[in-house]
C-alpha cells in the first residue's frame, strides 16, 4: 500500500485547545470538519497519547482555531512538535479564554470555534470527538492553510505562492533567483532550509547560506539544532 496517497486528501491546519481544571493545552490538528448545521456540530480527531486528548476527555470542551497560510513555521512547530507535558505551549502566545474556559489562540488565526462534546467515537489510536458548537467568530480576513500547503512550505515553497500575503523582509524575486546555495533538510521534521528565503522569523535574512547561519540557530518547525540537518541532493 502506498500510504503517500493519503497526502493527496484535503485537510486544513488548526490549533485545537482544551483544559483540565485550570490547566490549559493545545496542539496542531488537521482532521477537523463540520458535521451538521441544525444543530451546529463539528468533529475533531485527536491521538489518544496526546495531552489534549486527556484534557478533552476531562472537560468535555474544546476550541478550534483556523491557521492562516502565512503563519510562521515556528508557531506551528511550537504546537506540533512539543509536548504540553514538558512545556507550556501557550507561554508568550496571545490568546483568550472563551465562554467554555478553553483557550482560543488569537495570534495566528483567522477564525475560531468553541464546542461542547456531545459524543465520541473510538478509532484505534485516535478518538473522534463530536462537539456542539456554542460560539464561532471570524478574527480577520486571510487564506486558511491546508495540510498540503504546510508540507510544501516545509519543503521551501513560500506562503505567497499559495495566495498568502507574507513577504520576507528584504527579499525580492531577483535576489531569490540569484541565490545558488544548497538547501538543507531537517532529519527530524522534514523542514527544508532554502537560502533564497532564509528564515526571517528567526532573524536569518534571505540569501544566507546554511554554513553562515549562527550555530545556535534551530529548526523553526521542531527546534532541533543545525547538526540534525542534511544536504538536499539535486
CATH number at residue 225: 2.20.28.10
Most confident of 23-32, 85-94, 161-170: 23-32
> Lowest mean pLDDT: which of 57-71, 107-121, 165-179?
165-179
Q: How many structural domains are present in the chain?
A: 2
Asked whether the predicted pLDDT for residue 170 surpasses 50, the reply is no
**Mean per-residue pLDDT for 180-201?**
84
What pLDDT score was predicted for residue 134? 97
- Range of 15's domain? 8-155
Classify residue 176: in a domain, yes or no. no
Is residue 174 one of the residues assigned to a domain? no
Indicate if 136 and 207 belong to the same structural domain: no
Q: Tell me if 114 is assigned to some domain.
A: yes
Are residues 139 and 88 both part of a single domain? yes
- Answer yes or no: is 107 within a domain: yes
Residue 76: what pLDDT?
Answer: 84
The pLDDT of residue 60: 98
Q: In what order do the strands lie in the sheet with 192-193?
A: 192-193, 184-186, 229-231
pLDDT at 14: 96
24 and 86, same domain (yes or no): yes
Residue 164 lies in a domain: no
Query: End-to-end CA distance of the chain, in Å?
Result: 27
Domain boundary among 117, 136, 155: 155
Alpha-helical (H) ranges within the chain are: 51-59, 73-80, 147-154, 173-178
Q: How confident is the model at residue 219 (pLDDT cuts 50, 70, 90)?
A: confident
30-53 tens-digit pLDDT: 999 999 999 999 999 999 999 999
Bridge partners, 111 (sequence order): 66, 138
What pLDDT was estimated at residue 176?
39
Handedness of CA 6, 9, 15, 17 (dihedral sign): negative
Q: Are residues 207 and 142 part of one domain? A: no
Looking at residue 200, the DSSP 8-state letter turns out to be G
Q: Are residues 53 and 116 in the same domain?
A: yes
Same domain, yes or no: 138 and 224: no
Tens digits of residue pLDDT in 96-119 = 999 999 999 998 999 999 999 999
Is 162 inside any structural domain?
A: no
Last residue of one domain, picked from the residues 155, 174, 199: 155
Give CA angle at 155 (154, 160), nearest 5°: 75
- Strand pairing partners for 96? 104
Asked which of 155, 173, 208 is the last residue of a domain, the reply is 155
- For residue 157, the model assigns a pLDDT of 57
The pLDDT value given to residue 177? 38
Can you give the pLDDT at residue 169?
Answer: 36
According to the model, what pLDDT value does residue 130 have?
Answer: 98
Does residue 168 sit in helix, strand or coil?
coil
This prediction has a pTM of 0.73
Residue length, the chain? 234
Q: Is residue 50 in a domain?
A: yes
* Percent over 70 (pLDDT), the chain: 87
How confident is the model over 119-168, as pLDDT tens digits?
A: 999 999 999 999 999 999 999 999 999 888 877 765 555 555 545 444 43
The answer to whether position 168 is within a domain reads: no
The CATH number of the domain where 99 resides is what? Answer: 2.30.110.10
CB contact at 8 A, 116 and 60: yes
Mean pLDDT of the residues in the chain: 85
Amino acid at each position: 500500500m502506498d500510504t503517500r496517497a493519503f497526502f493527496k486528501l484535503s485537510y486544513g491546519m488548526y490549533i485545537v485547545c482544551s483544559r483540565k481544571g485550570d490547566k490549559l493545552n493545545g496542539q496542531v490538528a488537521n482532521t477537523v470538519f463540520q458535521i451538521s448545521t441544525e444543530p451546529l456540530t463539528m468533529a475533531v480527531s485527536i491521538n489518544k497519547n496526546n495531552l489534549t486528548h486527556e484534557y478533552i476527555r476531562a472537560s468535555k470542551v474544546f476550541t478550534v482555531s483556523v491557521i492562516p497560510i502565512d503563519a510562521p513555521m515556528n508557531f506551528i512547530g511550537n504546537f506540533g512538535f512539543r509536548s504540553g507535558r514538558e512545556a507550556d505551549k501557550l507561554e508568550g502566545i496571545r490568546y483568550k479564554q472563551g465562554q467554555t474556559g478553553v483557550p482560543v489562540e488569537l495570534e495566528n488565526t483567522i477564525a475560531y470555534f468553541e464546542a461542547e462534546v456531545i459524543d465520541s467515537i473510538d478509532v484505534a489510536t485516535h478518538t473522534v470527538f463530536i462537539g456542539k458548537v456554542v460560539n464561532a467568530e471570524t478574527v480577520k480576513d486571510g487564506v486558511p492553510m491546508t495540510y498540503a500547503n504546510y508540507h510544501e512550505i516545509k519543503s521551501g515553497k513560500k506562503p505567497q505562492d499559495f495566495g498568502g500575503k507574507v513577504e520576507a523582509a528584504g527579499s525580492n524575486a531577483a535576489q531569490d533567483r540569484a541565490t545558488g546555495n544548497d538547501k538543507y533538510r531537517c532529519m527530524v521534521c522534514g523542514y527544508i532550509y532554502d537560502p533564497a528565503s532564509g528564515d526571517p522569523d528567526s532573524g536569518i535574512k534571505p540569501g544566507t547560506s546554511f554554513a553562515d547561519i549562527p550555530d545556535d540557530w534551530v529548526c523553526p518547525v521542531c527546534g532541533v539544532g543545525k547538526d540534525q540537518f542534511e544536504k538536499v541532493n539535486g
